[in-house]
A and B are shown apart, each in its own frame.
Chain A
């Protein structure tokens, strides 16, 4: 379990290396704080041994805009910093959507929305079958939740009592469908769901560290500027 100092400025610097953008743009990435908290404080991982069996699993279902993800993985030492400026270039391992066969630490190749949560349910079942205490965290966007495949898996996970599964929704208000708040929707389906400020590291850490009997959902709301 990580207990690292959460150096946000360092992640912003690394993400800016990847995109070539100004640092204030990198600073606004909606997933940046949640990923920093996950990899700094919550997930049990070993960058020296990415396939270490007792590790926790993380699936970035929302595979778009992975600069913050790559920055955090590099910060933790999964791959060297000098990979970052090659982002999306010919010959690079770092594409616009992460590929698990190319990037150490990436558990699942994603990019097409709506695939990560069903995968995570399968991983959670497999971990339970192995009788391990590892957990799986899957990150989706709020607009991504429109995909029907997510709602299949949202129905299924509580039925299977997957206490080792956490769904992290980064809600930056980008969904065209605006129903009742996402955490309320998920609670109706049987999830232990709560809403937190997606820039509040302490709140994120508390919500993401908690384990429950039912699958957990953390809806992290972020505004477009930090």
Chain B
């Protein structure tokens, strides 16, 4: 099964060859995988070295000149270290970029807090009008890259190692309905889908699948709402989407519950699956939390 990162890069490489307005700016990470773009047109592809602020600024320079830049590195080094560059060089200037990150949350399980970034989406949400994409499979990453790379916005696409068993036919800006029930509504974000479906097996709940977080599909959520409880299962810090959901549900008297990464530095080492278990984010942990939320 091809990984999301590899697929996103391969899709960008294809777009790069088809569309002379695509530029790629890297900061040392994944340069090998991007080799085809350097071979095709080195004037639109540059590896700046280990300098993430400048990676963002250089990409914005391309965007000022009408290009559609794509940048890529490990999650915290762009979403957190270079956050002000994203905010000003793209948000303030109103320019187009596609940011593709690798190693979401705690994928680099043995590397510790320096390489973890469960706060990335919360950070990006501080920049108005940012599009935030969390695919759950390689084919979904492909669809979302194609849908957004040239749309004129700051778009943030987050990849993780874990992928769902079957890719869905996702559409930018749309929630998908996975299962309909009557007692509660569960929203699974990106890579959390399979384990959320496993966790809710036998429960009378609606399960929705989100891969576009902003702009959020409030229409589908309100139409499909079941019961008085909404539980969001997030691959990042628990409660990251609270503001988004509060706005989407402003006319509905619902109780909102967040199941996500606990807000503490992760000092355990191990595989992402081992950390899922410790953090209560495997199927059993999610089931426990949902049951406790809705009684």
Residues of A in contact with B (beta carbons under 8 Å apart): 57, 99-101, 107-109, 112, 114-115, 117-130, 148-149, 152-153, 155-156, 160
B49 at the interface (CB under 8 A from A): yes
Q: How far is the CA of A153 from the CA of B25 in the complex (A)?
A: 13
Q: Is the CB of A124 within 8 A of B49?
A: no
How far apart sit A119 and B84, CA to CA, in the bound complex (Å)? Answer: 13
17 additional contacts (CB under 8 A) given A99-B92, A108-B93, A152-B48: A57-B64, A100-B93, A109-B92, A112-B88, A115-B85, A115-B89, A117-B57, A119-B58, A122-B58, A122-B65, A123-B61, A124-B61, A125-B62, A127-B65, A129-B41, A153-B58, A155-B51
Name the A residues within 8 Å of B122 (CB-CB): none
B61 touching A149, Cβ below 8 Å: no
Q: Indicate if B46 sits at the interface (CB-CB under 8 A).
A: yes
CB of B65 within 8 A of CB of A123, answer: yes
Which residues of the other chain, B, contact A99 by a CB distance below 8 angstroms?
92
Q: B236-272: which residues lie under 8 A (CB-CB) from chain A?
A: none
Instruction: Please give the residue numbers on chain B whose beta carbons come within 8 Å of chain A beta carbons, in ascending order.
Output: 23, 25, 41, 43-44, 46, 48-49, 51, 53-54, 56-67, 69, 84-85, 88-89, 92-94
In the complex, chain A residues whose CB is within 8 Å of the CB of B61 = 118-126
Which A residues are CB-close (under 8 A) to B64? 57, 107-108, 119, 122-123, 126
In the bound complex, what is the Cα–Cα distance between A109 and B51 (angstroms)?
22
The reply to whether A118 and B57 contact each other, CB–CB distance below 8 Å, is yes
Q: In the complex, what residue of chain B is closest to A111 when comparing beta carbons?
A: B88
A222 to chain B, nearest CB (A): 26
CB <8 Å contact, A130 and B65: yes
Give, as a whole number of angstroms, the nearest-CB distance from B31 to chain A: 15
* Contact indicator B51/A126 (Cβ below 8 Å): no
Q: CA A115 – CA B94 in complex, angstroms? A: 15
Of B51, B89, B94, which contacts A119 at CB under 8 A?
Answer: B89
Given A115-B89, A123-B61, A126-B64: A149 touches B54 (CB 8 Å cut-off): yes
The answer on a CB contact under 8 Å between B60 and A122 is yes
Residues in A with CB closer than 8 Å to B88 are: 109, 112, 115
When A115-B88, A126-B67 are in contact, do A160 and B57 touch as well, CB less than 8 Å?
Answer: no
A122 x B94 contact (CB < 8 A): no
Q: Are B85 and A126 in contact (CB under 8 A)?
A: no
Could you tell me the distance between the alpha carbons of A126 and B53 in the complex, rounded to whole angstroms?
A: 18
**Which one of A100, A119, A122, A127 has the highest number of Cβ atoms from chain B below 10 Å of its Cβ?**
A122
Q: Contact between A126 and B65 (Cβ–Cβ < 8 Å)?
A: yes
Choose among A118, A120, A124 the residue that contacts B53 (Cβ–Cβ < 8 A).
Answer: A118
What are some 11 contacts across the A-B interface (CB < 8 A)?
A107-B64, A112-B84, A118-B58, A121-B58, A122-B62, A123-B61, A123-B62, A149-B57, A153-B51, A153-B57, A160-B46
Q: Give every chain B residue within 8 A of A121 (Cβ-Cβ).
A: 54, 57-58, 61
If A128-B43, A129-B44 touch, whether A118 touches B56 (CB-CB below 8 Å) is: yes
Residues in B neighbouring A114, C-beta threshold 8 A? 53
A169 → chain B closest CB, angstroms: 17
Complex formed: what's the CA distance from A124 to B43 in Å?
A: 11
On chain A, the residues within 8 Å of B89 by CB distance are 115, 118-119
List of B residues within 8 angstroms of A152 by Cβ: 48, 51, 53-54
What residues on A are CB-neighbors of B53 within 8 Å?
114, 118, 148-149, 152
* B23, B44, B62, most chain A CB atoms within 10 A: B62
On whether the beta carbons of B57 and A126 are closer than 8 Å, the reply is no
Roughly how many angstroms separate A62 CA and B81 CA in the complex, as a whole number? Answer: 22
Contacts of A120 in B (CB 8 A): 61
> Are A155 and B49 in contact, with the CB atoms below 8 A?
yes
Q: How far is the CA of A99 from the CA of B92 in the complex (A)?
A: 9
A136 to B97: give the CA distance in the assembly, Å: 21
A126 touching B84, Cβ below 8 Å: no
Q: How far is the CA of A124 from the CA of B56 in the complex (A)?
A: 15
Complex alpha-carbon distance, A107 and B95, angstroms: 12
Give min CB distance, A52 to chain B, whole Å.
13
Q: Distance (Å) between the CB of B154 and the closest chain A CB?
A: 14
